[in-house]
Structure 1
Amino acid sequence: MKDLSQPDPEMLKELIVYRMPFGKYKDWLITDLPVSYLEWFDNKGFPAGKLGMMLSTMYQIRLNDLMFLIDGLKRIYRK
């Protein structure tokens, strides 16, 4: 059984390079999306699949003031 109490480091690494595939913020990195856009998805419903999981994760990171997780990964993996 997978341990859900800890963030998945592979998913977090992918989160810092994944781009929004559609909409007003098309081609923006998920980590750079405005909180208001993530809140809109939270109210309307996140898309199904991987994109929805990534948007939801980014929303939770922002909501819980955990951007230090993303900032640290950006320094390591965005060269």
Structure 2
Amino acid sequence: MDDQQKSLIKLAHTKMPFGKYEGYYLIDLPEYYVVWYSNKGFPKGQLGEQLQLIYELKLNGLEELIRNIKKKYPKQ
């Protein structure tokens, strides 16, 4: 398994650590919330990078890709 696959698996299991949607999987955040972050500016660091990727996935209708990864690779 390469690093890109590992990062997608990690993304599939990452939850929002704070705010109104604390505890939600990033892929399950409402689209308007992710768009709001896109307009406001994503947080710094890994969370910001992950939210940016979630934004791109939602924008292109690819949420199922991450949901399928979450099912196929349950968190250990």
Q: Bin the TM-score by the shorter chain.
A: 0.7 to 0.9
28, 31, 36: which is aligned to 2:32?
36
Matched residue count: 72
Higher RCO (C-alpha 8 Å, min separation 6): 2
The SS at the match of 1:57 is helix
Percent of aligned pairs sharing the same letter = 43
The CA deviation string for residues 23-68 of structure 1, in whole angstroms up to 9 with x for no partner, is: 1001111111000110000000000000000000001001011123
What is the CA–CA distance in structure 2 between the aligned matches of 1:45 and 1:71, rounded to whole Å? Answer: 25
Are 2:15 and 1:22 aligned?
no
The SS at the match of 1:23 is coil
Q: Give the gaps of 5 or more residues in structure 1.
A: 1-7
Task: Give the equivalent residue in structure 1 for 2:68.
Answer: 72
Q: Tell me if structure 1 keeps the 8 A contact 2:12–2:70.
A: yes
- Stretches of 4+ moved more than 6 A in 1? none
TM-score (norm 2): 0.86
RMSD over equivalenced CA pairs, Å: 1.3
What is the CA–CA distance in structure 1 between the aligned matches of 2:70 and 2:15, rounded to whole Å? Answer: 14
Q: Give the gaps of 5 or more residues in structure 2.
A: none
What is the CA–CA distance in structure 1 between the aligned matches of 2:6 and 2:16, rounded to whole Å? Answer: 18
TM-score (norm 1): 0.83
Which has the larger helix fraction? 2
